[in-house]
Amino acid sequence: MHLVIISGAARPKPKSNTAKIIGAFRSGFDEKGNTSEVWYLSDRRQWEGAAKAFSENENILVALPLYVENIPGILLEFLSDIPPKTDGKTTLSFLIQGGFPEASQSRCCEKYLETLPEKLGCRYGGTLIKGDMFGLGLLDEKNRKKLLAPFTGMGRYFSEKGYFEKTVSDKFAAPEFMPEKEIRKFERFGHTIQRLFMGIIAKKLGCKGKLDAKPYSNN
């Protein structure tokens, strides 16, 4: 099987968590002689090639980061200009990854994605969801590999099936909601630890000011 993967991430490839996840997914998918190609919408020079690949291929996977509980604007813009297919032979599947750990965050987006294949003249091939990916690009190599390993497994699975079964993707997406015990623990101790953690991340990303700075405040 040949798979066309389109990344709907707005961040350029070297900074994008979606790109890292696609890399892991591909390494599982390509293992047994399958082939794949990737198009990055963060680079507008690739849009024409991505649109051509969409129209000429029958297995398409759109991978995207969750943005405000739905799809990034550049992906919406790209898809709005794609002419619908007419032969009904294409399977269109999706991979959503987000920053918050609960899969429930992505369910609104999933509902929207479910409507797209029909509009584009394709069959729906399911949606793979995974949260807790915010820090992926900030991890050291060992921990990043650990976090990415399940995506390689899903690449292998997809190479055999050609779509995501709902039961399999729901299991992969867990937790749907954080357990109450975890939430209570976070409310008690988490804020302070998270503040510290966010400060370290901000520094790594080049932030020089305070995270709670209020430059436009009157008081």
Q: Which is nearer to ligand FMN, 87 or 141 (CB)?
A: 141
**Residues touching ligand FMN: how many (CB under 6 A)?**
18
Contact pick of 67, 78, 94, 158 for ligand FMN (by CB under 6 A)? 67
Q: Which is nearer to ligand FMN, 34 or 36 (CB)?
A: 36
Separation of alpha carbons 2 and 29, rounded Å? 10
Separation of alpha carbons 162 and 118, rounded Å? 18
| 3-state DSSP assignment of residue 210 | coil
Contact pick of 36, 105, 152, 159 for ligand FMN (by CB under 6 A)? 105
- Min. distance of Cβ 149 from ligand FMN in angstroms? 17
The residue with tokens 């198009």 is 39
- Tokens representing 163 are 């779509």
Q: Which is nearer to ligand FMN, 117 or 131 (CB)?
A: 131
E strands present in 85-152: 91-97, 123-130
Contact pick of 3, 4, 5, 9 for ligand FMN (by CB under 6 A)? 9
**Binding track over 18-37 against ligand FMN, x by CB under 6 A:** x-------------------
| 64: nearest Cα among 105, 115, 109 | 109
98 binds ligand FMN (CB under 6 A): yes
- Tokens representing 101 are 């750990």
Contact pick of 1, 11, 23, 46 for ligand FMN (by CB under 6 A)? 11
Residues whose CB is less than 8 angstroms from the CB of residue 151 and which lie 6 or more positions away in sequence, other chains included: 21, 24, 25, 28, 130
Residues that bind ligand FMN (CB under 6 A): 9, 11, 16-18, 65-69, 97-100, 105, 131, 133-134
